[in-house]
Amino acid sequence: MSDLSLYVKESYNELVHKVTWPTWSSLLSSTRLVLIGSIIFALVVFVYDTIFNTLLAGSNDDLNEAWFNGIYNLFG
């Protein structure tokens, strides 16, 4: 039991006194960068997916039907 309490005390000491936490502005900057990168990546994947679906579906009617069926299956 003393090993566990020693571990907890040392962990707390390290978190409070030795860890360098980012500033609030640095944290917001990093969060914005990750958010923008994620949105760009999602848009690129969406565009590629739409292009490949159009190429593989053949006609727009088949594509629209497949898209609506996919949405219906996802939420319905």
- Cα distances from 68 to residues 27, 42, 45, 59, 60, in angstroms, run 40, 20, 19, 15, 12
pLDDT at residue 71, as a whole number:
72
pLDDT at residue 22, as a whole number:
93
Half-sphere exposure of 73 (CA within 13 A, CB side): 6
Whether the pLDDT of residue 9 is over 70: the answer is yes
pLDDT in tens, 21-67: 999 999 999 999 999 999 999 999 999 988 887 777 665 566 667 77
pLDDT at residue 54, as a whole number:
73
pLDDT at residue 56, as a whole number:
73
More confident residue, 61 or 9: 9
Whether the pLDDT of residue 73 is over 70: the answer is yes
- Residue 58: which region, alpha, beta or left (left: phi > 0; alpha: psi -120 to 50)? left
Instruction: Spell out the domain ranges in the chain.
Output: 22-75
- Cα distances from 54 to residues 14, 25, 32, 48, 67, in angstroms, run 55, 43, 33, 10, 11
